[in-house]
Amino acid sequence: MDPKRQSSAALPGFSAPAAGFDEPLEMLHACHDRVRRSLDLLERICQRVEQSLVDQAVHSAAADVLHYFDRAAPHHHEDEEQHVFPRVLAGCDDPAVRAIVLALQEDHIAMESQWAALRTPLAALATGHGEGFDAAHLAAARRFCALYAQHAQTEEALVFPTASKLIDDDAKQAMGREMATRRGARLMPPV
């Protein structure tokens, strides 16, 4: 095996405890923790590709990143688009907050487009074909990471706290049920 392609530093996947559907805003915040772990994993993949240290750990890490951004991220965005952003736009009089929410909606479109462009070369990397993950893909991955990280930070600092004040307990329960249904999760009946 080529020594440049070997490495003792593993790139593990991740698992994390999460809030439940009975706490939908906390669940969205916990999703951001998983987003950050996935972005960190993508950055470490980029570093390893730049160092010509592409090995099975990199392939596995690429598969983990694909899994998260193909499956969980779209649900998370839909949760925000269906439940958080409309309530903030409808219930907040602050024009600066409203402008930020509109910008975050545009971010979702940009992130979806960036992911679509990044997905194919990352999928090739996940299946053992790292030679096609070039400088342009590295730059695209880093732009994606930067946009996503800033987006999550803005939501946590401004939008989620505002939404928390605007969404009452009944609406939160309905939101949680819809989020669970979207993911095919079965909810336990209230005790």
The predicted model scores a pTM of: 0.85
pLDDT at 188: 58
Q: Assign residue 59 the CATH number of its domain.
A: 1.20.120.520
pLDDT tens by residue, 55-68: 999 999 999 999 99
The residue written with tokens 């991955």 in the block is 141
pLDDT at 70: 97
Residue 50 has pLDDT above 50, yes or no: yes
CA atoms of 4 and 152, how far apart (whole Å): 35
CA atoms of 14 and 74, how far apart (whole Å): 19
Confidence band of 4 (pLDDT split at 50, 70, 90): very low
Residue 46 has pLDDT above 50, yes or no: yes
Is 9 a member of any domain? Answer: no
The 8-class DSSP code of residue 130 comes to G
Phi then psi for 52, rounded to 5 degrees? Answer: 55, 40
Is 5 a member of any domain? Answer: no
Q: Which domain holds residue 85?
A: 21-182
pLDDT at 146: 98
Is 8 a member of any domain? Answer: no
CA atoms of 70 and 171, how far apart (whole Å): 28
The 8-class DSSP code of residue 189 comes to P
Is 155 a member of any domain? Answer: yes
Is 11 a member of any domain? Answer: no
Is 7 a member of any domain? Answer: no
Is 82 a member of any domain? Answer: yes
Mean pLDDT, residues 20-42 taken together: 93
pLDDT at 187: 65
Q: Is 14 left (phi over 0), alpha (psi -120 to 50) or beta?
A: beta
Sequence-separated (6 or more) residues with CB below 8 Å from residue 73: 35, 111, 115
Cβ–Cβ < 8 Å for 83, 182: no
Is 105 a member of any domain? Answer: yes
Encoded tokens for 50: 């730049």
pLDDT at 21: 85
pLDDT at 184: 84
Q: How many domains, in total, are found in the chain? A: 1
Q: 32: number of CA atoms within 13 Å, CB side?
A: 17
